Copies of this chain bind each other. A is one copy, B any other.
Amino acid sequence: MRAQANIDSHLDLRLALEQLLSAGGKRVRPTVVLLVGGMLGVDQDRLVTLGAAVEMLHTATLVHDDLIDSALLRRGMPTLNSKWSPAATVLTGDFLFARAAQLASDIDNIPLMKKFAETLAIIVNGELTQLFAAHGVISRENYYDRIYAKTASLFEMSALSAAMLNAEDEAIQDTLRIYGYEIGMAFQIVDDVLDFSGDQDVVGKPLGSDLLQGLVTLPAIFYAEEYPSDPDVQTLRQGNWQDQASMSRLVDSIRSSNAIQLSLDEAAVHVERALKALALFPISVEREALIDLARYILDRSA
């Protein structure tokens, strides 16, 4: 065999990647892996590998996402695509996919590997759906499908796969899968609320930026359900989300309506379900930390 795959030979790129991987991000997904696995007594080494695989997969999808969206900032740092060619950005994402797959295969667990590959397929398929079909659609069902694919699927996989490393018991696996699923749904709903209600300097992009791209998230759906005859809602429903003046007005209307609170209530329902799933486990340091993590997801909106 010849050359080993070694990104160290691309010094500039290695530095860019180190920056990206060390630039923060909340590391919520690997935290879920470590805590769920820790609660079940899974070997620490395998958990660290799994956590790294999950974060690497997440980062790979972000790199391609930022390229697709032409985003300039991520985690407060310039995105790869803002500094590198599309070619380098595509390949860097691919390299992270490959590394994620290597890490996942290092765990030596075939069902976990299958779950890993399936989750990647769900995430990418969700992005394709968003690209081709999801603009201007005001539908709760559609929204939940989208945020499952985009976010909750990886949270679900993080909790489930950590559980798979120790629990033969499928009921335990499924309970923890539900924990991951529910906090993932809550996480994305809160993210979508922050796009309307957040401090623009903290969010780091214009408020209502989703809507201005035709992405209808939960606050907009609640508002449209309550005020179906609002002319701006009708503009959106007719697919004219490119009408900037109308969408800007709609963002303001949503911000000052109760749609924000209704959305947060919905996120809280998901967190409650997550906590209910945890209640089935005996008290432990890890369980308390998972409870805190679920609550922290809601606190981000405060």
Establish whether residues B110 and A98, one from each chain, have CB atoms under 8 Å apart when the complex forms: no
Residues of B within 8 A of A144 (CB): 2
Q: How far is the CB of A134 from chain B (nearest CB, A)?
A: 11
Copies of this subunit: 2
Establish whether residues B88 and A131, one from each chain, have CB atoms under 8 Å apart when the complex forms: yes
Contact check: which of B91, B131, B181 meets A68 at CB < 8 Å? B91
Inter-chain CA distance A221–B5, complex, in Å, is: 24
Nearest-neighbor residue (CB-CB) of A69 within chain B: B87
Contact check: which of B1, B94, B127 meets A124 at CB < 8 Å? B94
Inter-chain CA distance A156–B3, complex, in Å, is: 13
Residues of B within 8 A of A145 (CB): 2-3
Nearest-neighbor residue (CB-CB) of A60 within chain B: B94
Number of A interface residues in the complex (CB < 8 A): 62
Residues of B within 8 A of A106 (CB): 114
Instruction: Check if A277 is an interface residue, CB within 8 A of chain B.
Output: no
Residue in A1, A106, A117 whose Cβ sees the most chain B Cβ within 10 Å: A117
Establish whether residues B121 and A98, one from each chain, have CB atoms under 8 Å apart when the complex forms: yes
Nearest-neighbor residue (CB-CB) of A110 within chain B: B108
Write the A128-148 contact mask toward B (1 if CB under 8 angstroms, else 0).
110111000000000011001
Residues of B within 8 A of A123 (CB): 98
Establish whether residues A128 and B88, one from each chain, have CB atoms under 8 Å apart when the complex forms: yes
Inter-chain CA distance A122–B92, complex, in Å, is: 13
Q: How far is the CB of A152 from chain B (nearest CB, A)?
A: 8
Instruction: Check if A273 is an interface residue, CB within 8 A of chain B.
Output: no
Residues of B within 8 A of A6 (CB): 125
Nearest-neighbor residue (CB-CB) of A146 within chain B: B3
Inter-chain CA distance A64–B97, complex, in Å, is: 13
Write the A1-45 contact mask toward B (1 if CB under 8 angstroms, else 0).
111111101101100000000000000000000000000000000
Q: 8 Å CB contacts to B: which residues of A85-130?
A: 85-88, 90-95, 97-99, 101-102, 104-106, 108-110, 113-114, 116-118, 120-129
Instruction: Check if A271 is an interface residue, CB within 8 A of chain B.
Output: no
Inter-chain CA distance A123–B91, complex, in Å, is: 10
Instruction: Check if A149 is an interface residue, CB within 8 A of chain B.
Output: yes
Contact check: which of B3, B68, B90 meets A64 at CB < 8 Å? B90
Inter-chain CA distance A227–B98, complex, in Å, is: 41
Contact check: which of B124, B133, B156, B181 meets A5 at CB < 8 Å? B124
Instruction: Check if A163 is an interface residue, CB within 8 A of chain B.
Output: no
Establish whether residues B129 and A9, one from each chain, have CB atoms under 8 Å apart when the complex forms: yes
Other 16 A-B pairs with CB < 8 A, given A3-B145, A67-B90: A2-B144, A2-B145, A2-B148, A4-B122, A9-B133, A68-B87, A68-B91, A91-B128, A97-B97, A98-B117, A101-B116, A101-B117, A104-B117, A105-B110, A105-B116, A105-B117
